[in-house]
Amino acid sequence: MAFDGSLNLAFTASAPMTQGVLVMPFSAYAPVIKLDTELEKRVTYHLYVTTQNGQVELPIKSFQSRLRLEGTSFVSAVAPAFDGLADLNKGDQVSITQRVEYFSKDATESEIASGKLTQTYLSESSDKNTLQINANQKYQVPGAPKTVEIQQVQYVSNQADGNLLLRIRPTDIQPGDQIFFRGVERRVREIVLIVDDTLSVMEVQCG
């Protein structure tokens, strides 16, 4: 089935989502979990869909988002399929959150993708069925861009168009922000975030 809608891909702070959450009985699955031993924290990513019957947390298996300063931004999330798939409708609210549990202070949860359902695809096989949720929209530039210093990178590449591509651990930055890297301040033009049960990667393209 397919739906039309839009997705707000801005990074915004939010409180942990505890009220009105309907947890589906997927005992065999867990949210995507990442452990960053250097920063001493546990990171989980959660997928929520708000339907006419309330809010449902789906056990997200993976997701990828591409946020562009210009053009269309999108997100694609994969979850195990479930019997209530028919309850998802055009206009349902979709949200992906990142929850960080610290050893030294209280946990925080922030929203990294939210908006309206645009498309869903059901993939069936003999051993597993999965649901892919897609959404896109024109990115909304933050009203108060921030500057973030980048010190540790996994990969650096000078692009033919003059932009710089950095691969880093997921960080709270978004298109329109400024990064300070190797003594130079650059504007973030595009961010790709890829998370599954084996990796967590952010690629930042800046001018």
Distance CA 73, CA 200 (A): 19
**How does residue 24 score in pLDDT terms, banded at 50, 70 and 90?**
very low
Q: What is the reported pTM?
A: 0.73
pLDDT of residue 12: 36
Lowest-confidence range among 8-17, 50-59, 173-182?
A: 8-17
What residue ranges do the domains of the chain occupy?
7-138, 147-206
Considering Cα of 34, then 39, then 42, then 47, what sign does the dihedral take? negative
Task: Give 7-138's CATH code, choosing from 2.70.50, 2.70.98, 1.10.10, 2.40.10.
Answer: 2.40.10
Distance CA 158, CA 43 (A): 30
**How does residue 192 score in pLDDT terms, banded at 50, 70 and 90?**
very high
Residue 117 structure tokens = 């359902």
Distance CA 140, CA 129 (A): 34
Would you give the end-to-end CA distance of the chain in angstroms?
Answer: 39
Which range among 15-19, 63-67, 72-76, 194-198 has the greatest average pLDDT?
63-67
**pLDDT digit string, tens, across residues 91-142:** 778 888 888 888 777 888 887 777 777 888 888 876 678 888 888 777 777 7
More confident residue, 46 or 104: 46
Q: Nearest CA to 182 among 148, 151, 146, 205?
A: 151
